[in-house]
Structure 1
């Protein structure tokens, strides 16, 4: 029996609509953003299951921290790992106890994406170039990729994709580096994509005030979860030597997305979480007991106190080791080392043709040609909210409040909080995230 033209058209339309719901690629929630230099950035639009609808509320775009992928925002029990048996605490809030998705998988209790979905927000998560696994692995860039490339090329592509699909102004941000890239985006931060595409060297970054105004007009707000900037380091003189800079200047992609699945598949969750616990509880204890009469620069354990594992469930720790830790470019680590060691907040020191073979980062000098981030913070005008961790490992609250909130153009809806007992990593999905962090974020979003 032949199909009529009307029936055939209807069938084709149904197929198109079905593919559209999956991001057009046949994978649940997958969307692809094309960067200006031609790479595919993989994104996931969140919903609990294909039977659920995507939310129609304000879009919220989240990028992960360095060495992580967007799985950090959606903690869940992996379908292939049946040894997760987490039970909700007796004092869990009603929203968790009454939600069918959390009832089916209690680890969803720690999913920021799911919580915001329940509050009516359209959550999008994205992976930088070189980051991600399986269908959600973004294209690899040149090995000379650094934070500037992530922020100047990958972030705008993702924002444009969300706006194009939803037709709405998104709230943009993320954890750590995800927050850094968001506020640089709002500065009008940009790079010459044609030079980046060639791969011979990376050009200088710049800020365009007109572009910044356009971007701020197209965005509803900024959300930073321990947003990164100049880190507090210890024993800077140990890092500040030719051997370290020679190593950090290497153009490498550290491909953890290939390594970790093989490294962790033989380990039981108790083993991975136990090892993480021993290491970081020891670091936290030593940081808390650092003698007050010692100089601050000697507080090595304070600088390493970025994961308060007593604030994280063991299964969530194991989830990070197996699924959330991800690939990164060495250039990104090198930039953070430069900022912390030399007390500057600038583009990568090898940017610009004249610097492409420069190994040691130079001291700041007038007219040195580098782009300094703090000089353009006033271009950032939209409402901003940040969730900071109490520990100062990797991100120090007072430092970043000064950079962001004393640097941006003030908005009446600006705000931030510091969550007690948290570290840089666990502030995203630690034990108190569902009761303190998640509601604080959603309550602020509601004000917009």
Structure 2
């Protein structure tokens, strides 16, 4: 049995939503904007500026979505106002741009804020949370428990892009981290889902790709910024998932509400304990991954598959911020899709339960001709905008070789296409690690400048 949760916007409300572009936020919340999805949910967005005394940039917008299990706070690392034990000091080798910035002098952790850096470089930075994701005033509406990556990408992402274009009147650069950049390349393929069926919640419809819609969307976007873009993840011991019990778990229609749990659990823990535990876990994973015998088959490299965070490349206070504030809710259906792609020969397709005929299917079968599924990896050529990717060095979470091939050998090329690999990084720290302010951030802004 499938588990489900048992209007147009009024002109006045629309006016309220647009006015924040002149200096405030919707409902009096600084930087808050709301995008309405086709199935009627509110997606919460934040337009960045360092403080209300700063103006929003009247320049090229950059829209960023977070990775799965993250919210958009990952793009704005900072010291929590209510946690007075954050007394981080800038290192002696901090970049000049950080040492001379008044905002960073007040809060040194802002050196690791991608949103702040891009703002300093002159860009209009927007961040958005998927349905079911976020905290406080920036928590988006919940979707049905059967929500998947397809729903995030086909319904939430277009709503956010439309909002940015409507408010700014400009073509945005779109992208994000991991899943956020994955949704961007799916958006640029012209993918949609029947919103009426999604709203009912009984089952999810098939993803539909439209070449003409893809052309329209590409013409309305200035570029694609991919930060360790997700696709086919590296897995190990695949047989542990590829069985009846494993697929039963992956087929669960459940939201994992970390936003409700983490604030309660972590409120009693000091930063040194949170960062210490993070260090212990991920440094152990890294050590085991690097010690993996090269003579053994790659399917046994469990720790290599789990090496998604180089804690040695991350400041302890940043680790605490990410665990305490940056981790967020997710739907099991999203994890299930990543597992399907890794198990079934890296075929990036819609969820295997999509379509009325598949609504009770519990096991994802290998790809066969005419199976009726939409395969994202078959349509990368529909991407025609300039693209830039920043990859981590580790294969954990994202393989730079596989994903650079998928995107840059798949899309329609432009003379602005480029990508780099940041040495010594894993998945998470490519955007918030110690090397980010000196390498990752400037590389992204330099490419944006080239547009």
Q: TM-score band (shorter)? A: over 0.9
Of the candidates 306, 315, 331, which is equivalent to residue 329 of structure 1? 331
Partner of 1:5: none
Partner of 1:6: none
Of the candidates 349, 354, 357, which is equivalent to residue 352 of structure 2? 349
Q: Report whether the alignment pairs 1:157 with 2:159.
A: yes
Q: Would you say the 8 A contact 2:308–2:427 is kept in 1?
A: yes
Bigger radius of gyration among the two: 1
After TM superposition, list the pairs within 5 Å mapping 1:152-191 onto structure 2: 152-191=154-193
Instruction: Give TM-score scaled by structure 1 length.
Output: 0.96
Listed as ranges, the gaps of 5+ residues in structure 1 are 1-12
Q: Would you say the 8 A contact 1:229–1:400 is kept in 2?
A: yes
Partner of 1:7: none
Are residues 111 and 15 of structure 1, via their aligned partners in 2, closer, same or farther at CA, if it must alter by over 3 Å?
Answer: closer
Q: Which runs of 4 or more aligned residues in structure 1 lie more than 3 Å from their structure 2 counterparts after TM superposition?
A: 13-20
Partners of 1:211 and 1:444 in 2: how far apart? 26
Cα RMSD (Å):
1.4
Q: Aligned residues, how many?
A: 436
Are residues 16 and 369 of structure 1, via their aligned partners in 2, closer, same or farther at CA, if it must alter by over 3 Å?
Answer: closer
After TM superposition, list the pairs within 5 Å mapping 1:28-107 onto structure 2: 28-107=30-109
Partner of 1:239: 241
Partners of 2:93 and 2:365 in 1: how far apart? 54
SS across alignment from 1:38: coil
Partners of 2:339 and 2:94 in 1: how far apart? 40
Are residues 445 and 19 of structure 1, via their aligned partners in 2, closer, same or farther at CA, if it must alter by over 3 Å?
Answer: closer
Q: Would you say the 8 A contact 2:17–2:34 is kept in 1?
A: no
SS across alignment from 2:27: coil
SS across alignment from 1:92: coil
Instruction: Name whichever of 17-26 and 251-260 sits farther off.
Output: 17-26
Deviation at 1:331, TM superposition (A): 0.1
Are residues 19 and 47 of structure 1, via their aligned partners in 2, closer, same or farther at CA, if it must alter by over 3 Å?
Answer: closer
Partners of 2:24 and 2:239 in 1: how far apart? 51
Partner of 1:314: 316
Are residues 171 and 18 of structure 1, via their aligned partners in 2, closer, same or farther at CA, if it must alter by over 3 Å?
Answer: closer
Q: Report whether the alignment pairs 1:289 with 2:291.
A: yes
Partner of 1:417: 420
Partners of 1:336 and 1:107 in 2: how far apart? 32
Q: Report whether the alignment pairs 1:192 with 2:194.
A: yes
Q: Report whether the alignment pairs 1:304 with 2:316.
A: no
Q: Report whether the alignment pairs 1:112 with 2:114.
A: yes
Deviation at 1:91, TM superposition (A): 1.2
Deviation at 1:150, TM superposition (A): 0.2
Residues 304-334 of structure 1: per-residue CA shift (max 9 Å, x gap)? 1110000000000000111000000000000
SS across alignment from 2:64: strand
Partner of 1:401: 404
Deviation at 1:22, TM superposition (A): 2.2
Partners of 1:431 and 1:15 in 2: how far apart? 37
Partners of 2:256 and 2:195 in 1: how far apart? 23
SS across alignment from 2:230: coil
Deviation at 1:284, TM superposition (A): 0.5
Deviation at 1:14, TM superposition (A): 12
Partner of 2:379: 376
Q: Report whether the alignment pairs 1:441 with 2:444.
A: yes
